[in-house]
Structure 1
C-alpha cells in the first residue's frame, strides 16, 4: 500500500468529489427540483399541487421528499452487505465504480423526464440517488487509508473544496444552457434543463476515471469470506457498534451526528423547492442563489478546518455551527422576501461545507487508525447518516402534507439540531485524555 499523505493520491481522491458533486448540485439542489416543481405545479399559492405516482396521490413536493427518503433507506440496507463483500474480497473499488456508473447512467436517463414519463423518471431519480450515496460509502472509507490523523481535517476539506469547484463549473455551463437555449439549438428552458441532467451523468463518469486509476483497488488483506456475505455485513455493523459503545467520544459524537444530519441534509435537499413554492422565485433566481451558496461553501469548509486546527478543535467548532443552523431554521419560518432568502442561503452556504467536512474528519480521527476495517466503520457512519436522512426527509414531507405548510416542516428540523447540540455539549464534558488521538479534537 502507498505511503499516507501522498499528494497525488490525495488529489486523485479529491477528484471523486469533483466528479460526483455535480449530481448533488444540479440534480438534488438546483435544476432538477426546480424543473420538477415547474412541471408538476400550477404556480398558484392558493391551491395544493398533487401528482400521481404508482397509483397514489401525493403533494408534489412531498413525493420528492419521499422519493429521496426511500433511496436513502435502500442504500442504508444495501451498504452493510456491499461493504462486507468489498472487505472480504478486497475489491471495494469495484463497488465504488458500479455505484458510480449506475448513478451516472440514471442521470443521463433523466433527459427524457416530462409529465408523461413522471413515474419512470422518478424511479430513475431514486436509482441515481442510490448510485450517488452507495459510491460514497467506499469513497469515504479511503480517508484514513490515504491520510494520517493530523492531515485528515485538511484532506477532508480538500475533497469538499474540489467538489464545490467542480460542481460550480458544471453548474455555470448548465446555467448558460438554461438561460440561452436557442443559442445551442435547444427548444427552450425545459429542454435545456433536461440536457443538464445528461451533462451531469457524463461529467460524473469522465472525471471519476481519475480516482479510479490512482486509488488503491481495495484492502491488501484478501480473505475468502468465511460467513454468509449477505448477513456478515450486518454482523460487522453490530461488531462496530459494540466497539463504539466502548469509545465514549465516538458514541456521543455519533448520537449527535445522527440527529443533526436529519436537519443538515434535509435543508440542503429541499431548499430550492422551498424557495420556489413558498416565495415563487423564478428558475433563474434560484439557480443564481444556489450557485452563490456553493461559492460561499468553499471558503466556509476551509474556514471551519482552520478554526478547528488552530484555535478551537473539532467539537467546539461543530457546536458553534449547530447554533447557527438552529438560527437558520427558525429564521426560515419567517422568511417572506427574496432578500431575506438570499441572506439565509448565504449563511447556509458558509456552514454546510464546514459541518460535512468536519463531521467526516472528526469521525475518522476517533477510529482505530491502524484497523484494517475502515470500510466497516465508514459503512456504519454512512448507514447512520442515511437513516437520519430517511427520517429527516420523511418527516419534512409528512409534516407538510399534514399541516399544509413547508414552514412547519422547517421548524421541526430545528428540533433535530437542538438534540444534536445537546449531545455535542455532553461530548464536550468528557476529558480529552479519555481518547488516544489528537487532544485538539
Structure 2
C-alpha cells in the first residue's frame, strides 16, 4: 500500500482529473450544447413560437437545458451529504467514486441515441444523469486529497490535478473537432461526428479512471446491515455538521467560497452564451474555449507556486481581484464594440488564467483547514453542497437580471458584487498552521 505523499499515489489521484475533465469540456461546454442547439433549432422540432414540449409543458430549448442542469445540481446537493456520511462510516469512498463514475460515463455514451424530437427525453434524462455522475464522483474524489498528500503538498497536488484535466480534455476535444469538422476518419457529418464524440468521452472517462482505482487506498472499515445504511449515514453527517460549525475558520472560508462560486461558476456556464450574444461564430467560441483550457494549465501552475510563497489567503485575493476585472471587461463588451472578437479572446485568456487556479486553490485551502479527522467525504460534501447551491443562486440571479434589464452586460457586472463580498470575507479569515 502506497503511503501518503508518495508520487505514484499522487499521480494516480490526479489522473482522475485527466479522466473526468473531458465531460466538463466536451459535454458541458463545447460539443453537446452546440449539438443540442442544432437539433432543437432544426425545422419541425419546435413550434411556431420556438418552444418545445417536454413533460406536458412548453419550454424554450435553452431554458429546458438550463433547468435540467440546475435540477441535477440540486439532486447532488441533496444526496451527497447523506452518501458521504455512509462512505465515511463504512469506509466506502472508492465504491461511491466508482459508482458515480460509471453512472456518468454510461449516461454520456447514451447521449448517442439523442437524435431528434422523438428522443428529446433521452437528451434531457441523460444530461441530468451524466451531470449527477460527474459532480457526485467529484465529492468523493476531492475527499481523497488529505489522504494522499501532506498539507504542505496539497496546493501543488490540487493544481496538478486541474493541469492534467486541462491537458487531457484539450487532447480529446481536438480529436472530437477533427471528427466533427473534417473527413480524416472517413466521415464528414457533424451530427454523426458529435455522437461518436459522446461515445469517446464516456470511454475515455471510465477507461482512464481505472488508473486511479488501482492506486487509491481501499478504505473499507465496517460491513453494514442494509437497514443501518441511511441511519448511520445521517448520524455521521449530522456529527460532522456540528464539528464543522465549531471551527470558525471553516465557516468563514465556506462563506467566502460560496460567494466566489456564485461568480466563477456562473461565468463558466454562461461564457459561451455570452459569446453568442456578442455575435461570435461557433469556431471562434470553440477557439476561445481551447484558449481558456491552455492558459488554465499555466494559471493553475503559477498560482499554486505563488501560494507557496505568499500564502493561500493573499493568493486567493489576487485571483478574486482578477475575476472582478473580468466582470468589468464583460460589462463593457457589446455586439457593436470594434474588434469584439479580439476583446473576447483577451477575456478568455484572463478567465483561463484564474479559472483552474481558483478551483484548485479553493480545494486545497479547504483541505488544509480541516481538523484531524477520518470523515473526509462528509467534510467535502459540505464543500460540494456550498458550490452547487452557489451555482443555482448564480444562474437564477443572472437570469433574473437579464429579464429585468434585457441585457447580459448588467448581469455580468452584478457578479462583481459577489467577488467583492468574497474578498471582504476572506479578509476575516485568520491564519492557521497551514493557511496563511
Q: TM-score, normalised by structure 2?
A: 0.91
Q: Secondary structure at the match of 1:57?
A: strand
Give 1:346's aligned residue.
349
How far does residue 86 in structure 1 lie from its aligned partner after superposition? 1.6
Q: Count how many residue pairs are aligned between Structure 1 and Structure 2.
A: 426
Deviation string for 1:87-114 (max 9, x for gaps)? 2222221111111011011111112224
Give 1:178 deviation, angstroms. Answer: 1.9
Cα separation, 2, equivalents of 1:333 and 1:115: 36
3-state SS of the aligned residue for 2:222?
coil
Give the aligned partner of residue 252 of structure 1: 252
Distance 1:143 1:283 in 2: 37
Q: How does 1:33-432 map to 2 (within 5 A)?
A: 33-41=33-41, 50-116=51-117, 117-180=119-182, 182-219=183-220, 221-222=221-222, 224=224, 228-276=228-276, 278-310=277-309, 312-336=310-334, 337-368=340-371, 370-401=372-403, 403-427=405-429, 430=430, 432=431
Seen in structure 2, the aligned counterparts of structure 1 residues 41 and 322 have a Cα distance that, compared at 3 Å, is: farther
Deviations along 1:206-226, one digit per CA (max 9) or x if unpaired, are 10110111111225x436479
1:285-335 Cα deviation digits (max 9, x unpaired): 22111111100000100111111101x210111111111112212321222
Q: For residues 377-399 of structure 1, what are the alpha-carbon distances to aligned partners after superposition, in whole Å with 9 as ceiling and x for unaligned?
A: 11111111122122222333444
In structure 2, relative to structure 1, the CA distance for the partners of 1:49 and 1:282 (3 Å cut) is farther
**Bigger Cα displacement from structure 2, 106-115 vs 68-77:** 106-115
Sort the Cα spacing of 1:345 and 1:52 in 2 relative to 1 into closer, same or farther, 3 A.
Answer: farther
Please give the alpha-carbon distance, in whole angstroms, between the structure 1 residues aligned to 2:382 and 2:262. 16
Relative to structure 1, is the Cα distance of residues 394 and 237 closer, same or farther in structure 2, using a 3 angstrom cutoff? Answer: farther
The verdict on how the C-alpha distance between 1:228 and 1:409 changes in structure 2, with shifts beyond 3 A counting, is farther
Cα distance in 2 for partners of 1:27, 1:305 equals 27
> Is the Cα–Cα contact under 8 Å of residues 85 and 237 in structure 2 kept in the other structure?
no
Q: SS at the partner of 1:28? A: helix
| Structure 2 Cα separation of the partners of residues 343 and 206 of structure 1 | 35
Q: For structure 1, list consecutive stretches of 5 or more residues without a partner in the other structure.
A: none
State the SS of the aligned residue for 2:29: coil
> Quick one: structure 1 residues 124 and 397, their matched pair in 2 at CA, closer, same or farther if it must change by over 3 Å?
farther
Tell me the SS of whatever aligns to 1:216: coil
Q: Deviations over 1:9-32 (max 9, x none)?
A: 111111100000000110111111
Contact 2:88 2:376 in 1 (8 A): no
Partner of 2:23: 23
* Contact 2:179-2:188 within 8 A present in 1 as well: no
Does the CA contact (< 8 Å) of 1:88 and 1:223 recur in 2? Answer: no
| CA distance, structure 2, for counterparts of residue 338 and residue 99 of structure 1 | 38
Contact 1:88 1:225 (C-alpha < 8 Å) held by counterparts: no
User: Which structure 2 segments of 5+ residues have no match?
Assistant: 335-339
Q: Distance in 1 between matches of 2:110 and 2:411?
A: 31
What is the CA–CA distance in structure 2 between the aligned matches of 1:403 and 1:114, rounded to whole Å? 36
Q: Using a 3 Å threshold, how does the CA distance of structure 1 residues 48 and 22 change in structure 2: closer, same or farther?
A: farther
1:62-100 alpha-carbon deviations (Å, 9 max, x no partner): 333222111111001111121122222222211111110
CA–CA distance in 1 between the matches of 2:301 and 2:49? 41
Report the secondary structure of 2:59's partner residue.
Answer: strand
Aligned-residue CA RMSD (Å): 2.3
Mapped to 1, the partners of 2:29 and 2:139 lie a distance apart of 21
Q: What CA distance in whole angstroms lies between the structure 2 residues aligned with 1:186 and 1:55?
A: 37
